[in-house]
Structure 1
Amino acid sequence: MMNRLTRSLLAPLAIASLASACAPLPNAARPVSANTSAAPAIPEDPGVVTAADPRAAAAGAEMLRLGGSATDAAIAVMLALTVVEPQSSGIGGGGFLVTADEAGNVASFDGREMAPSAATPDWFKVDGKVLSHSDAVPGGRSVGVPGNLRLAAMAHARTGKLPWRVLFGPAIKLAGEGFAITPRLNNTLGFASDIAGLDPAGRALFFGPDGSPLPVGTVVRNPALAATLEKIAALGADSFYLGGNAKAIAAKVGTAPRNPAPMSTADLAAYKAKSRDPVCGRYRVYRVCTMGPPSAGGVTVLQTLGELERFDLKAMGPASPTAWHLIAEAERLAFADRDAWLADPDFVPVPTAGLTDPAYVAARSALISETAAINTAAPGKPAGGSDRFAMAGPIDEHGTTHFAAVDRWGNAASYTSTVESAFGSGLMVGGYFLNNELTDFNLDPDRDGKPTANRVEAGKRPRSSMSPVVVYGPDGHLRLIAGAAGGYTIPPQVIRVIIGTLDWNLSARDAITQGIVMPAPGGILAVESGTPLAAMVPALQAFGHTKVVAVPMRLKANAIEWVPGTDGKYHWVGAADPRSEGATASP
């Protein structure tokens, strides 16, 4: 029988060593690829932005036009998405940001939400019983202290060029003057009406008098959010975490109509974004860098790519059932390690170096056969792993959004942001939704008599699938910036884009557009219906995959690539998922 996560995933509306790999190659040591030798050291290109909504992409492009950096553009996108894509992300949630420059320097910023100081491992137990995910989501108990604005402030201080207040202009205008309801937002309001309409403010904003979602094209004005953004623009991120806004969040969480829970103003004041070491690895001749724990997605991407390196995917091509079988097998092994080992490294020993060690990855790859399926994968035993913790299954994730920017200097920002489920907890403060990120913890803190690494603890950050990546070519030049939304599907989507562009010579847009084959909980192999890959079901069954299911998937990815144009020069080209309302924009 399928569990709820599997059903949601498959439902039509569901959403060298580590150190050497992370270090940029010295200029003298960077090999030059014959097909990229024409690329200038500093791109003669104005840059580009890609996001899940054209109005947000335009906000980022405006920052580039004003002389802003990729980081400035990404922050402006995040703020605009708070207005126009409230079901997926915003200032009431958190995210991960990876930045990169032409010299090979990569940085990563952790703005993941944090459990309040009152949280305990039994946070989601009521009368001794663990709440179901659907019962845990609505209301106060699922809300973590939001991290996006602290992340934005930290990143802006390091690589921003424009004044902080300028970044808020497009979002304030959208909230104050109004924005039109899109088909995707209308659709999400329909299937998540119980969450979107939980708070009277949400009902008043997005639903008509009869309780139906506002029709597509309806212009919505959110003056409360405009006022919130204006205050943060003028006073800085501290105004979100201190004073009236902090009091409003704490009060809303503590008096929620469902699952009220203690959160204090001290919890908000104590929140800090963190600069984390990026996690990098080699895939063929490319250097791939991503977010480390508490992101589990980045390690999953690197492990999967490493396990696939011994196979000639290029020769197989995107129409090969064998290629997709191998990709799914590598992902299945990486997911098993993800569920067992990855969590907040500030609370448990996370064996990141062991999981990405080439020798360990090669040993895991040896378990993959070109002719037979694994079906059930067990986690490995990486160096540094602790047997004090039990393996716990995948978390029921849904929402999220990814966006990216490259500026005129060739600096890149790859940012994945989320409120977790559609419309988060359903609670609204100051015109924005509060996240339900704490349901990304294991709701049951123990398994087989051992604590799980990803259990709830005070001040801890939940594990995430978010996987923002940057990829450098063999010449040391940035080649690809990518990421995706959709919970458990995020790493497979990112892997598909990387393999599609680097192995199969597809454009980033074509790599995103192609279908997907990926493992799902319960030993299922999910194939995206409505794509050419759906015809592969019999061939995949012939490998021994026992549960191959062709189903619609609610996918959403964005990417930027550095490619030659018809003019003979190299350019940044953005790509957005045609399944979504994504768009690209240039200054």
Structure 2
Amino acid sequence: MPMPRRAAPWALTAATAAAAALLSACSSPSLHYATPTLEPEGSSGWTDKPGWATEKFAVAAANPLATDAGYQVLKAGGSAVDAAIAVQLVLGLVEPQSSGIGGGAFLLHAAGTKVEAYDGRETAPAAATETLFLKPDGTPMAFHDAVVGGRSVGTPGAIRMLELAHQEHGKLPWASLFTPAIQLADQGFKVSPRLHTMLSNEKFLSADPEARAYFYGADGKPLPVGHVLRNPAYAQVLRALARDGSKALHEGEVAQAIVQKVRSHATNPGLLSTQDLAGYRPRKREALCHDWNIPPTPASATARSYRVCGFPPPGSGGIAVGQILGILAQTPAAAMPLDAQGLPTANWLHFYTEAARLAFADRGLYVADPDFVQAPGGNWQNLLDSQYLAERARLIGAQSMKVAQPGNPVSVRSSYAPMAHQIEYGTSHISIVDAQGNALAMTTTIEDQFGSRQMVKGFLLNNELTDFSMAPRTADGLPIANRVQPGKRPRSSMAPTLVFDKATGQLLMSAGSPGGAQIIHYTAKTLWGVFGWGLTPQQAINLPNFSSLNGPSLLEEKRFPEATVNALRQRGAEVKEQQLTSGLQAITRGEAHGKTFWFGGADPRREGVVMGD
């Protein structure tokens, strides 16, 4: 695998470099944060990324200021979890449209071959019922009618989950990890092109008085690129969290402010209570790990076996990515190279989109919060069984099936009805490997851009409850697995992924992406690009995006030749070309010049970068 150009010394300021040198001389880990001078890259269109190579550790995140916070933590001797906390807190400040302390996250952590899944997904209020998103006439609300206001706000879980992960894997003091975000919130940061673009396209946020005062000028226009934005309210909350832990968010003044905001919305109040916040608990779940056996491909003349670990339900990404990859490996697509221009061929895309339809059909029927819904046959691995996937692969013919039907891995009829496709948005992804070889993949979200458009004490509240099926039952009364129920966690498409060599147990990749339901496809594309086509992570991320959500075949606009589009249509597919703006981050292990490196990639469609030593 060729080595991408290394960016040295990661565009840090002299002050940062001096601080790093001081830290490296300390006998015990401690963090002395130095504010960097980093300019986020453009967010519209395409900004070429070089790819990065490091020897000791690496961190990849969606904004340079957030990545740098994680870099400084790792440089100070912190763990991967320590770095993820610092990154998340800065993302909540500089990329507030995507994630933050008012939302939730899934974190996969690997120490050697031991993989742990930390579930910080939001929960429905205790007072919620399955009719939460039904209008008086019994029909589901329109998406943004449900989103904007308090109705869509679930109990946030990111901070309590990160606190649990830190108790088990942290090396630096909890309070020190808040320093970068507090310092940036106090001193201010420059509004990035992406944040400005999102504000310019936003229709609902300015209706909230606190958000309007923070994000918009006196003329009502979004703050311009480069405007130095300070957030003392967020800094105050972070100081309380640093001092008192997660109870500073889930109890007391901040919790009361959240509940007041949710329940007092003038037109769309919600049901969240202080008891919901105080009672929230993160969950540790068994990571969803399975074998991925690839026959000889253009990247390798011999068959290879990997162990792929994804997030279990209520995450749907781990299952869907695993099904797509497993089905593809049992079709002629496995032996198909990229074309002369380095693009997926129409034949390969046909097999991929058919596999995607099959995976999304199963997702729509089976996957929901496992505390409420039983897996087929009592085990989610049944959906990833190689014989079952071979059976599904045999359904792929020369012509598109257009809409696939769910399979039956255990020959027992499901008691649920398939969930209709709904809009999903948002999220951010973080991949990290520390100096001890511990790794994590964390996808974090408030769902739609700017969440519920409700701002409290400098941070935004999520709209995760709209990830539930708005229609709880079919017309004949059959329930949908992912319907609203009290205390339930909505199904998520987040797909943090760790890949290992099956034979040696060695970590090979950490990857993931934002993008709603498209997360599944962005992640699958990157895994196939690296392990099926032998690309560097940056090359794999750069590939054009493609998908099917069990309907039309979706292609990233202006990235595929007309002949490819026409060939798919000749196979019976409805093809739509549109924006598919991924935000992929990936770190892989590789060899170059006789040495082992961590190769990092960040999506050219967004502002992310990779840093490390």
TM-score by length of 2: 0.86
Structure 1 residue ranges without an equivalent (≥5): 1-11, 14-42
For residues 268-320 of structure 1, the C-alpha deviation after alignment (integer angstroms, 9 at most, x for no partner) is: 01100000111111112111001000001110011111111123545311332
**Which residue in 1 is equivalent to 2:337?**
317
Q: How many pairs were matched up?
A: 541
**Which residue in 1 is equivalent to 2:443?**
416
2:535 counterpart SS class = coil
For residues 137-186 of structure 1, the C-alpha deviation after alignment (integer angstroms, 9 at most, x for no partner) is: 00100000000001101111111111101111111111111111111111
**Which residue in 1 is equivalent to 2:126?**
117
**Which residue in 2 is equivalent to 1:221?**
230
Measured in 1, the distance between the counterparts of 2:70 and 2:149 equals 32
What does 1:213-252 align with in structure 2 at a 5 Å threshold?
213-252=222-261
Select 2:152's aligned residue among 142, 153, 162. 142
Q: Which amino acid is 2:326 matched to?
A: G
Select 1:487's aligned residue among 505, 510, 516. 516
**Which residue in 2 is equivalent to 1:406?**
433
**Which residue in 2 is equivalent to 1:107?**
116
**Which residue in 2 is equivalent to 1:24?**
none
1:347 lines up with 2:372 in the alignment: yes
1:224 counterpart SS class = helix
Select 2:598's aligned residue among 572, 579, 587. 572
1:441 lines up with 2:468 in the alignment: yes
1:125 counterpart SS class = coil
Shift of 1:520: 3.7
**Which residue in 2 is equivalent to 1:51?**
61
Measured in 1, the distance between the counterparts of 2:375 and 2:458 equals 37
Superposed CA RMSD in Å reads: 1.7
Q: Which amino acid is 1:310 matched to?
A: Q
1:481 counterpart SS class = strand
Q: Which amino acid is 1:581 matched to?
A: E
1:183 lines up with 2:193 in the alignment: yes
1:146 counterpart SS class = coil
Q: Is the 8 A contact 1:349 1:384 kept in 2?
A: no
Measured in 1, the distance between the counterparts of 2:311 and 2:136 equals 38
Sequence identity percentage: 43
Measured in 2, the distance between the counterparts of 1:73 and 1:534 equals 44
For residues 499-558 of structure 1, the C-alpha deviation after alignment (integer angstroms, 9 at most, x for no partner) is: 00001011101101110221145x21111122246651012122221x112222222111
Measured in 1, the distance between the counterparts of 2:332 and 2:506 equals 24
For residues 456-491 of structure 1, the C-alpha deviation after alignment (integer angstroms, 9 at most, x for no partner) is: 011000001000000012432111110011101000
Structure 2 residue ranges without an equivalent (≥5): 1-43, 46-52, 294-304, 340-344
Measured in 2, the distance between the counterparts of 1:423 and 1:454 equals 23
**Which residue in 2 is equivalent to 1:391?**
418
Measured in 2, the distance between the counterparts of 1:230 and 1:383 equals 51
CA separation of 1:397/1:44 partners in 2, compared to 1, >3 Å: closer, same or farther? Answer: closer
**Which residue in 2 is equivalent to 1:363?**
391
Select 2:543's aligned residue among 514, 520, 544. 514
Select 1:334's aligned residue among 359, 372, 384. 359
Select 1:461's aligned residue among 489, 511, 527. 489
Measured in 2, the distance between the counterparts of 1:227 and 1:133 equals 33
Q: Is the 8 A contact 1:527 1:534 kept in 2?
A: no
Measured in 1, the distance between the counterparts of 2:432 and 2:203 equals 32
Q: Is the 8 A contact 1:401 1:417 kept in 2?
A: yes
**Which residue in 1 is equivalent to 2:532?**
503
**Which residue in 2 is equivalent to 1:581?**
607
Q: Is the 8 A contact 2:360 2:549 kept in 1?
A: no
Select 2:557's aligned residue among 518, 529, 537. 529
Q: Is the 8 A contact 2:54 2:598 kept in 1?
A: no
Measured in 2, the distance between the counterparts of 1:236 and 1:535 equals 57
Measured in 2, the distance between the counterparts of 1:569 and 1:282 equals 28
**Which residue in 1 is equivalent to 2:31?**
none
**Which residue in 2 is equivalent to 1:426?**
453
For residues 377-422 of structure 1, the C-alpha deviation after alignment (integer angstroms, 9 at most, x for no partner) is: 0011122866321111123111111111100111101000000000
Select 1:563's aligned residue among 590, 598, 606. 590
Shift of 1:355: 1.1
**Which residue in 2 is equivalent to 1:375?**
402
Measured in 2, the distance between the counterparts of 1:576 and 1:220 equals 25
**Which residue in 1 is equivalent to 2:313?**
293
- Comparing 446-455 with 113-122, which one deviates more in the overlay? 446-455
Measured in 1, the distance between the counterparts of 2:383 and 2:76 equals 42
- Displacement over 6 Å in runs of 4+: none
Q: Which amino acid is 1:197 matched to?
A: S
Q: Which amino acid is 2:258 matched to?
A: I
Q: Is the 8 A contact 2:54 2:599 kept in 1?
A: no
Measured in 1, the distance between the counterparts of 2:387 and 2:336 equals 25
CA separation of 1:445/1:44 partners in 2, compared to 1, >3 Å: closer, same or farther? Answer: closer
Measured in 1, the distance between the counterparts of 2:543 and 2:370 equals 35
Measured in 1, the distance between the counterparts of 2:256 and 2:534 equals 52
